[in-house]
Structure 1
Amino acid sequence: MNLSLRRLAIGIWSDMIFQVRHGFYAAYMVVSTLYIVLLTFIPHGYQEMASVLIVFSDPSFIGCFFIGAIILLEKGQGIYDSLFVTPFQIAEYLLSKLFSLTFLSIISSLAIIGFSISGIVVDYRPIVIGIFLSSLFFTCIGIILAVRVKTVNQFLLSSPLVLIVFFIPVLETTMSLNLKWTSILPSYAGILLIQGGFEPLSVNEWTYGIGNLVAWILVGFYLTYHSFYKYIVLRIGSG
């Protein structure tokens, strides 16, 4: 795998332009504005927990659905028929998708916190890291699912069945449950890191949160690469 940083940078920039032209930035702006308005009406004592859950769900849930829409849109436009005839590699294509959507997730999440939280000292370092890593993982999930289906309806029906497993830590947080096994999930680590923006994390929590998500991302990207190769690249030209 001979990655080119120049081709990757061009791919990321092209993806961002594609996302702007097809209204993804506008949609994110609308969703983020709704979240901000919602948080301003939540009592001050509950804003911290609500912010953590919203900021986590923003890059994970929405990012997964957005990448699904992008993949299906590009499949419909026949982009893949000629894309990999060029020097552009599969890994570069996938990484450009991951990084461009992750950038959008970070900007959106920081805007949500910045415009809705007041009177609370926020450490943005663990928040940015949590959003960055969570977005990478859930975008991988979105690609894995999107390459297997043919229509948006199929994607919308299948993706919640997978995502619900990863969102169990959200239910655990809101309902004060104590499910020990959920600590292995990447969503648990993502929520922990984002909470670190409001409550200082220990060294062990930093290590666990980052290590857990990185491990899941490596597995997720491996499956993403092979799923894309199997369901897209191998079928190019086969009708």
Structure 2
Amino acid sequence: MRLAAALRNDVRLQVRHGFYAAYAVVICAYLVLLHALPPHAREVLLPLLVLTDPAVYGFVFVGGILLLERSDGTLESLFVSPLRPLEYVASKALSLGLLALASAFALVLPVTGLPAHPLVFAAGVGLTATFFVCIGIAAATRFRSFVSFMLGAGIGISVFFLPVLRPLGLLDTPWLRLLPTDATLRLVGLGLGRGDGPLALPLLVLATSNAAALVWALRWLDRHVIASGAVPTAKATRHRAVPTRPGRLAALLAADGRNLTRDPVLLFVALFFVPLGLAVRFGLPALQAWLAQDLTPWLPLLAAFLITTTPLTFGWAAGFLLLDERDEGVLTAFAVTPFSARRFLAWRLALPTAVGFGAALLVLPLAGLGAAPDALLAAAAVAALEAPIYALFLASYAANKIEGMALGKMASLVSLGPLALLLPWPWQAAGTILPPYWIARTLTDASPWPACAAGLLLHLGLLLLLRRRFVTSAA
């Protein structure tokens, strides 16, 4: 049977590329976080984690898979084979739905035990996963790169996360019931034995949403992939300028500047720290009111998380650009020019580092979190090196963009390194190997400079090791 064969192949691919391993690591981190929270916060947060991660992340994975198959020409071969588009979509939806179910049950079982109504819980998670896989396939047909897909389509689906505000007491209007994710929260809550609302309406909303998403995915696959007769690839002129005259760095800067102004997705990456900081400024008081406790002791850790996450955003974008450029032979092209591949790599890493440093200096004032000027400067100097380390990690260890997604998922957990400050010695010593730990120390120690020096040494050492690994893997 074609569908069964495609399903087995997709599951094997997901296991081989580290999807299940990535989720095993992420679920462990979530469990530590949940057990550290007070019971009332844990009760509210658990369904939200089930919605925002295991159930929804299929959108991201399937987008990367389709874009990779597009760039490799695999889709052309698939759709001239006996495999039908409906079977292609169904295989992706079922395989990633299986991953979502496994992750959701692995997250819930250690916290609450077996759900009171496991079939209801499974229906909420599974139908949500297949819905997001279908709209992920539809959306990915319109994008040329994974970075553009993640930010462009990711912004587009942000409306589906509005129901998350209802359990937090921030938004509760009747029209939220029309969103499939509101139905997800209701089904997950019923499955966990919380509440006794109607079961038919959320099931009907999710079933209808799945049908509409499936029709959308099939139509756009036919219109933008099959009917075109060719698989469009990334524009050859984008990020591909190879300057051969004096002023090469100026030419690269001008080319990247033009790409930034022409591509709203890249512009959003550059300015992401602004809405992030403002969200903390205006959302923190509401969070304190909801938790009914003073969060002041946690503010240094929150500041360390913000100042770490900001450069990581630039590193994430640079890492996937490097994966694209390596796959398309850009580094090989630079190797035979006067500029050289080594200098191009240095430029590709220096730009997110510089921009990340500036953004790290600004994000805390935007968030309304105070820090001494010397501590802010020291923390930003260390945090800026997160960008090239993250970029090189993705580009060095990921064979393609699919593995890059799985590795990026695991690597993002390193941003929780500041939480090691909560551990007593000698357990806290384990956190010293995590780069963000030293960013937190610069913000909490009486003098930031010893922690800054230690953090810089650790970051530079990792940067040299990863650079050597990248050069070896790209050879």
- TM-score, with structure 1 as normaliser: 0.90
Larger Rg: 2
Contact 1:37 1:116 in 2 (8 A): no
Deviations 1:188-238 (A, max 9, x none): 111100000232534xx2100111100111111000100111111123336
Q: CA deviation at 1:75?
A: 1.4
Specify which structure has the bigger relative contact order, considering alpha-carbon pairs within 8 angstroms and separated by 6 or more residues.
Answer: 1
Q: CA deviation at 1:9?
A: 1.1
- Aligned partner (choices 177, 187, 197) of residue 193 of structure 1: 187
Matching residue of 2:157: 163
Q: Which moved more, 1:188-197 or 1:33-42?
A: 33-42
Runs of 4+ in 1 over 3 A off after TM superposition: 236-239
- Aligned partner (choices 121, 125, 132) of residue 119 of structure 2: 125
Matching residue of 2:73: 78
Contact 2:120 2:187 in 1 (8 A): yes
Structure 2: unaligned runs, 5 residues or longer? 233-475
Contact 2:70 2:231 in 1 (8 A): no
Q: CA deviation at 1:44?
A: 1.7
Contact 2:55 2:126 in 1 (8 A): no
Q: CA deviation at 1:88?
A: 0.7
Matching residue of 1:213: 206
1:38 to 2:63 alignment: no
1:232 to 2:220 alignment: no
Distance of 1:176 and 1:201 partners within structure 2: 22
Aligned residues: 231
Q: CA deviation at 1:7?
A: 1.1
Contact 1:48 1:198 in 2 (8 A): no
Residues 238 and 20 from structure 1, CA distance in 2 versus in 1: closer, same or farther, beyond 3 angstroms? closer
Contact 2:225 2:231 in 1 (8 A): no
1:65 to 2:94 alignment: no
- Aligned partner (choices 13, 20, 33) of residue 18 of structure 1: 13
Distance of 1:158 and 1:188 partners within structure 2: 23
Contact 1:147 1:231 in 2 (8 A): yes
Contact 2:124 2:187 in 1 (8 A): yes
1:109 to 2:92 alignment: no
Contact 2:73 2:231 in 1 (8 A): no
Matching residue of 2:178: 184
Deviations 1:1-43 (A, max 9, x none): xxxxx21111111100111122222222222222222111111
Distance of 2:33 and 2:9 partners within structure 1: 33
Distance of 2:25 and 2:69 partners within structure 1: 23
Matching residue of 2:248: none
The two structures, once aligned, show a CA RMSD in angstroms of 1.7
Identity of aligned pairs, percent? 32
Matching residue of 1:88: 83
Distance of 1:82 and 1:176 partners within structure 2: 49
Contact 1:67 1:143 in 2 (8 A): yes
1:142 maps to a residue whose letter is G
Q: CA deviation at 1:48?
A: 1.9
Distance of 1:139 and 1:201 partners within structure 2: 29
Deviations 1:117-143 (A, max 9, x none): 36x963322211100111111111211
Deviations 1:163-187 (A, max 9, x none): 2111111112223532111111101
1:142 to 2:136 alignment: yes
2:157 maps to a residue whose letter is L
1:88 maps to a residue whose letter is L
Contact 2:163 2:182 in 1 (8 A): yes
1:50 to 2:45 alignment: yes
Contact 1:72 1:152 in 2 (8 A): yes
Task: Give SS of 1:100's match.
Answer: helix
